[in-house]
Structures are given as structure tokens and as C-alpha cells.
A and B are shown apart, each in its own frame.
Chain A
Amino acid sequence: MSVNRKALFRYWKVSQQSRVVATLQYLVFMASLVWVVVHGANQMGYQWQWYNIPEYFYKVFEGEIYPGRLIKGLGVTVDLTLWCVGFTLLTGLITALLRMSDSISGRWLSTIYLELVRNTPLLVQLYLFYFVFSPIFGIDRFWTGVICLTFYEGSFVAEIIRSGVQSVERGQWEAGDSIGLTRWDNYRYIVIPQAIPIMLPPLTGQIINLIKHSSIVSVIAVADLTTEGRNIIADTFMSFEIWFTVAGIYLVLTLSLSMFVTWLENRTRVRT
């Protein structure tokens, strides 16, 4: 027994050591990357003005705190994302149902929609919505952005829902049939409850993508986080500081969501 414990300790020590070494290497590597960027910027006479950044988060005016431009932009991004999440789920659900339905035209319509979205760039879709559809329907920028992103992400959500439903084994359907459930009852009591845990992680992943893709609306000047960043840079020329800050804000948003996904995945894996 004692031998074993000693060996275990040795193993632990070795792995601990190599972990420390690796972390050190990593820190040195990252530090030198940062140094390269900073050094390069200094080389071309870049003026770092990190001290100016906080005012774009919040301003204090006559004892009251007001949100700065970046926070306002973040608000628009979140607003946009939330609207999109709702519409996207709806679009995805309808498309998935049409695709799985018996209806010929329903299948056709959903297939055409999916292929159109998958085979054109998001940016071109945005231009198409902005230059073509928004004058036709008389929609403003913000809603053009919402509709375009919904149109784009809805196709992914449709596929997530479809594969979630189809991953429920055929035997489950047959068992439902054999106890005399109707088609809708089968969906409701047998299939959906089993499909939802499967669909949740990829759906959350899709929301992360939505946040990232929402930055593209800055192209049509919706005042989201990226647009605010670009405007501030146009005013102050603090390219590095602002872009790093903006990227950092996005990173915090998406990383916290993706940690949530990992947690969800682990939880569902343990349960099954």
C-alpha cells in the first residue's frame, strides 16, 4: 500500500511540475505576443490612451452616473439579439415543422429557404434586405437588421430542431403508436420531452453566434456596439484601445454563454 501511495505522489508531483512549466511557457509566450503588438505600435508612434477608455463606459455628470457610448451600443446589441432570439426560434420551428410535414409545398418552401440562406453570404443578405426589401416594405434600419439576422439564423435553428426531433429513436414513435397516442400526443408527451435536452446546447450555441453575427448590422449603421466602436475611433483615432475593448466586451458575453453550454452538456451527459 505504501509503495502505491508513494508512486501516486510521485505521479502527482511530476504532473504538477509539468503543469507549472507549461503554464509558465504559456505566460511567457502570451507576454511576448503582447510585447510585439505594443512594441510595434510604439514603433510607428502610436499614442496609447487607455485612460480615456472609462468615459465610454460611464460618465458622471452632476453627481449622477450616465451610461457611456459603449454601454449604449451594448444595450442596442443585446436588444437586437433578444428580438432575434424570439423571432429566430419561431422561424426555425415553423421551417422545421414544414420540412417534416406531409405537405409538398411546405417541404419545397422550407427547402428553398434553407438553400438560399446557406448559399449566400450574410453580408450580401444584409445588403439585399437593406437596399431592396426595406424600401419595399418601408422598414427602418433596426428592424431591417432584426429581420435579416432572423432570416439567417432561423435556418440553423430549423436544422437543430429537426435533427433534435429525429434523434429520438423510431422505436419511441412506434411505442407511442402502440399505446394508441395520436400524432400530436406523440410529439407532446414522447418526442418533444426527449428532444429538448438534445437541442438545448446547440441552441445556446446558436445564440452565441447570433451575438457575434449581430455586429454585422454596423454596416447599415444600426447603433450597436461595433458601430459605436467605429464611431469613437473615427472621432479619436484610438483604434487599438477601442477595438480591444469592444472585442473584450463581446468575448465576455459569448464566453459566459459558452461556459453555460459546457455546463449544460455535462449535465445532460450525466443524466443519460
Chain B
Amino acid sequence: MTDTDKRVIRLDNVSKSFGNFQALKGVSFDINHGQKVVVCGPSGSGKSTMIRCINRLEEHDGGSITVNGVELTDDMANILAVRREVGMVFQQFNLFPHLTVLDNLTLGPMRSRGADKQQAQGTAMEYLERVRIPDQANKYPSQLSGGQQQRVAIARSLCMKPKIMLFDEPTSALDPEMIKEVLDVMIELAEEGMTMIVVTHEMGFAKTVADTMIFMDHGEIVEVAPPSEFFSSPRSERTQLFLSQILSH
């Protein structure tokens, strides 16, 4: 395939255990530039662990992970290089409570990209406008609503100009009325062609955005399919069961 150069993430037989519990049992897949992948599955299936391995928040203990042509090893320089290319949005937002929104956004570019302050603030304001909260720039995270905090977190990742964005259940900690504002931002991002991996239970979002669905269970990838196929005629029984549970409410 000529796709080799378009491939940005490659997982090959990746495994990971916590003590006796095997969270990932030999997971393999490739993600191309611009691809939007939604990962779903029951809790404890290894979805979060998998994307946390991709920017090395967890250390995988078997197989290999290659991001942008760089293989993740213990080498700290490699890890930092990968993290600069990969943005991550957490379920619990993890904004820095002691910094203003603006400072949250400029810290990364200034420290790890060596941007100067003005430049960093300019970029930050640009992204705050994109997530539609430029007026909150000088507030502290605790003064914002959950939805606003999560949008700040997305903006914070974007400020690093990542090539890939990882989302770890970005809407699970939000009140229902705030979910839409976050998803809208994500949809916009997808339309601009960002490579995305999203762990989520929002199936409506998956249908609009995803070009690939991945279903995981017990640390394995059970099914990979385009959404049209995935939702209408899932092949595996486990997928069917999961979908019937999650779509029924």
C-alpha cells in the first residue's frame, strides 16, 4: 500500500498488565493521517489504557507502539517528542487549578516548545475563540462550568499544535446539558481534518464523526468496522449485546 507514509499510529501486539490483571492482550491496529476513530466497549475493557499507552502515560509491557515514525521506548527524548505531537483530553479535565485559563494554555507551548509569551498568548486566544470562551481567559478553572472547563482542556491540547488528538471519555464527567457544547467543538475539529481517537459512549457523536469504529472487550479488539456497518450489522455477538444495551437508553 502507498498508505505507509500516511500511517501516524501503529500498535503492534501491544499488551499491558496491572499486577495480575491483563488490561491489554495483544492489541494491533493502524491509524492513518486524518482518520477519526471512536473506541467503545464496556468499562474495564482496556479502552482508556490503550489510548493512555499511546502517549506513554502508561508503559506498555509487550509489543510496540509507533507514533509518527517514532517508536515508544524508555528513551525520555522519544517520549517527549511523541507527547508534543499527541494531544490528550482527560475525563476529569485535569486543568491546573492554580493557573488562569490563559496560563493553563500558554504553559505547554512556552516550556516545551520554547514559544515566547506573546506568541503563546496569541495562539491561546485564537484557540479560546475556537472553543468559544475567549471572555473567560483570565478566570480560574474553578470559576467555570464543567463544559467550559473541558473546552479549555481541549484548547490547551490544541495550543501544542498536535497532529493527533486523544480523547479519554471527554463527556463522561459532564452534566447532560453541557455535553453538546463539548461535542460540537470536537465535531468542528474533526471537520478540519484532525486525526482523532475518541473513547466515548456518545453513539450519536460516533455516527456523525467516526470513519472507523473499534469495539473492545476484555483487553482485546473485538470488532473494527465503518460506523454504517458497525451499527446496522455488527458481526460479533459481544458487539451486538453491547450495542443493544447502550442504544436502548
Contact = CB atoms under 8 A, between A and B. Distances in A.
Is there direct touching of A and B in the complex, by C-beta distance under 8 Å? yes
Interface of A: 1, 3-4, 6-8, 11
A11 B18 CA distance: 13
B58 interface: no
Contacts of A6: 62
B159 to A, nearest CB: 34
Contact of B63 (A3, A8, A11): A3
Contacts of B62: 3-4, 6-8
Interface string B1-43: 0000000000001010100000000100000000000000000
Given A4-B61, A8-B17, 10 more contacts: A1-B26, A3-B63, A4-B17, A4-B26, A4-B62, A4-B63, A6-B62, A7-B15, A8-B61, A11-B61
Interface in B44-73: 61-63
Interface in B74-119: none
B19 to A, nearest CB: 11
8 contacts: A1-B26, A3-B13, A3-B26, A3-B62, A7-B61, A7-B63, A8-B17, A8-B61
B228 to A, nearest CB: 35
Contacts, number: 21
Across the A-B interface, the 8 shortest Cβ-Cβ residue pairs: A4-B62, A7-B62, A4-B15, A7-B61, A3-B62, A11-B61, A8-B61, A3-B13
Nearest to B63: A3
Interface of B: 13, 15, 17, 26, 61-63
Nearest to B13: A3
B75 to A, nearest CB: 14
A7 B62 CA distance: 5
Point out which of B15, B17, B62 has the most chain A C-beta atoms below 10 A from its C-beta.
B62
Contacts of B15: 3-4, 7
Nearest to A8: B61
Contacts of B63: 3-4, 7
A3 to B, nearest CB: 5
A7 B61 CA distance: 6
Nearest to A5: B62
A1 B13 CA distance: 9
Nearest to A4: B62
Contacts of B17: 4, 8
A11 B17 CA distance: 12
Point out which of A1, A6, A11 has the most chain B C-beta atoms below 10 A from its C-beta.
A1
A185 to B, nearest CB: 41
A81 B53 CA distance: 54
